[in-house]
Each structure stands twice: as C-alpha cells, then as structure tokens.
A = this chain, B = another copy of it.
C-alpha cells in the first residue's frame, strides 16, 4: 500500500483538518460527528445535507457552500456515517425552514440517514429525503438494493441547492431534487482497484490489460471484465447503456459530467469527453453544459464515469445559477 498518509487509523481526522485549513472561507467543522458546515449558517432557506463514507472527495465536503450544500457528514472510509453523526449535521444547519437529505442508494446510508431523520423530527425539525440511484450498470449490487448512487449526485446538490437558495420551500426543493434523480443516468469503468487504508489491500485485482466495466465507486463488481480497447469503444458501450436507460429524444438538451475516479489524468478524461459529445451530436442531443474533472472519486482508483442529465427549462435555469463551493463554482 503506497499512500501519502500518516497513521492509517487517522486518515479521516487528518483529511478533515486539511479540508478545514484549505477552505476556511467556505466551511468549518462542528464539534461533533465529523460534519462540515458552511462558515456562515444560512438563514431563512431550506438546508441541504449530504454525506456518506469518505474516500470520494471532493464529495461531499467540497460542495458545501453557496448554491449547493449546507452540510456534509463524513463517515469513515467507505463506511456510512452513523445516525448520530447525520443528526448532528441536521441540527447544525436547520434554520427553521427544514432540511433535505441527499442520500446515495447504499443500504447502510439509507438506514442511518432515515434514523437520523426520525431523531430530528422528534426534535421538531422538518426533514425530507431523496435517494440518488443514477448508476445503470447493475441492479442489486454489493451494498445496494436497486441501482447504486454515484456521480450524478453532484447534479442533485447543484440544482436542489440553487432551488433552496432561491427561497423555495422544502417540498419544492425535494420535488426538483427528485426531478434530477428521474433524469440523470451514469455508468463507469475502472483500470485499477483501490485500497481502503485500514484494510491495506485492494478489494479486487485487474490484469495488466484488463478493465472492469460498470464497477461501483467502492469497487463493487460491475457487469464484466474485458481486455482494454480504445477510449472510443469503451465510451460507446457506456453511452449505449446510459441512453437506453433514459427517456430521451433528438432535439432535447442535456448536461454532461465526465468524472475521474482519481487516477485518470485530465488528458484521458478529455479524450472520453470528445467521444461523449460526438455520440450526443450524432443523436442530435444538444449539450447545454459540460463538467470534466474529479467530482466523485473512489480513493486512488483509475477510471471514470459518465453522467448524463436530461434538462428542461427549470433544470437548465437552476444548473446555471451561481454556485461558489470549493469543488464547484459556477458564475451566473
């Protein structure tokens, strides 16, 4: 295991300290629960909380800031935060307008966020939950019933965050978050596995010329392994799967996210993006906005995912609203 860390029992603590030091203009850590919240608490708006296991940075702490999240709850590496942690997050950000929880579809996350919701409701805080399940690769994976939630979650943060910033009430923010979830589909591939520090070894191994198609962001098995081919043919396969799982026709508009899982250089992400745009062009689907970079990673895994979000006028407008967070900034 070759990692730039100190004690493998302290990676989360060290990382959170490093995040706080890096972004004091955006966020701070509260006393309890490894929760990062906005530096200045929002007033008079619905608050958004997301989170999950760590190891997917910049998700979710990197999205705490204007126009996106109010709080990010950071579990241990690839481990759901506890109900107590999520409850601390909810309490810290609520300002009376209610809290929306954005949860990725993993059994542990769902259970723990739900318990936290109940705890908060007993204290009189209004809480709603949405569950992101954008990954079309497989149904019923290692830690999931139904489809997994992956990088498409960032579109939920962006768009529901803008809706909240605009003053919508909790049910309206939830409605638009669910509209994003209905309209976003993703799928990924990996060139290599990743190592949970505490485990010290990779959770799967790939041969020198082998890739895994459709694996999850914790290394959950995908649809199959194959010999590595060209970027174009890999993208064709992923896009075919994604578009088949969407209700989309020529003339419609989308947002594209080409997300690096950690060890894939920008050069290769842009080569992927070229083919994504060519395929959408052939189908006469218009791209409104493209994101290329590392938005939801998997420790040091090499590989990428593609997310396609079908847009209508409402989603387009909210996607284009100002966001100012460490990991995503949009100038209006």
User: Could you tell me which A residues sit within 8 Å of B by CB distance?
Assistant: 2-7, 11, 14-19, 21-23, 25, 54-55, 57-58, 62, 191-192, 208-209, 211, 228, 230-232, 234, 258, 262-274, 276-277, 287, 289-292, 294, 297, 299-300, 302, 304, 324, 329, 331
Contacts and interface: CB of A to CB of B under 8 A. Distances in A.
A277 B14 CA distance: 12
Contact of A15 (B192, B267, B277): B267
A271 B21 CA distance: 10
A300 B264 contact: yes
Contacts of A299: 265, 267
B270 A57 contact: yes
| Majority DSSP secondary structure for residues of A touching B | mixed
Contact of A290 (B23, B191, B304): B23
Given A231-B5, A263-B262, A294-B294, A270 B54 contact: no
Top 5 nearest A-B pairs (CB, nearest first) are A18-B270, A57-B266, A263-B263, A18-B274, A329-B329
B21 A263 contact: no
B267 A57 contact: yes
Contact of A274 (B14, B58, B232, B304): B14
A208 B2 CA distance: 7
B294 A4 contact: no
Given A54-B267, A265-B297, A267-B15, A191 B273 contact: no
Nearest to A15: B270
A167 B321 CA distance: 29
A21 B277 contact: yes
A300 B300 contact: no
B208 A4 contact: no
A18 B276 CA distance: 9
Contacts of A21: 273-274, 276-277, 287, 290
A268 B3 contact: yes
